[in-house]
Amino acid sequence: EIRKRSISMLFQELRLFTELTAWENVQLKNSLTGFKSKKEIKAWFEQFGIADKWDTPVAKMSFGQQQRVALVRALCQPFDFIFLDESISHLDEENGRIMSRILVEEADRQGAGIIVTSIGKHLELNYTKTLKL
């Protein structure tokens, strides 16, 4: 129940079903939570520049496109915290900024926190605390 209602995760290895389409991957999560409308999900696909990949099997998408699908899927549930592991490793700067904006908007909407791990590229966020190991 905690995982379903309080914590969302974007794993480094994404954990997408490669034989399913981008929409089917997101729909699997959203059908469990019923949290987002199809219209909201489509808007995120458009903002991420992957609206044309809606019906594309994930196996035929670049890793950067897959990262964007995985983030949309992660946002399809309520959360108090969203954990992101190497979330923009395969995104260009512009898509990294778009991801940051969408994350902040959704976290603000839910009154939630964002926790990011990274050894490479960093999300452009106003971090309240940064830990370096």
- All structural domains of the chain, each given as residue ranges with its CATH number in brackets, are 2-117 (3.40.50.300)
Q: How many residues does the chain have?
A: 133
> pLDDT class for 124, splitting at 50, 70, 90?
confident
Q: Let me know the angle formed at the C-alpha of 46 by 75 and 28, rounded to the nearest 5 degrees.
A: 40
> pLDDT class for 129, splitting at 50, 70, 90?
confident
Instruction: Report the share of the chain in percent with pLDDT over 70.
Output: 98
**Residue 26, pLDDT score:** 98
Written in H, E and C, the secondary structure of 60-127 is: HCCHHHHHHHHHHHHCCCCCCEEEEECCCCCCCHHHHHHHHHHHHHHHHHHCCEEEEECCCCCCCCCC
d(C-alpha 101, C-alpha 52), whole Å: 21
Asked whether the predicted pLDDT for residue 122 surpasses 80, the reply is no
Q: 23 with 54: CB under 8 angstroms?
A: yes
Helix (H) or strand (E) holding 116: strand 113-117
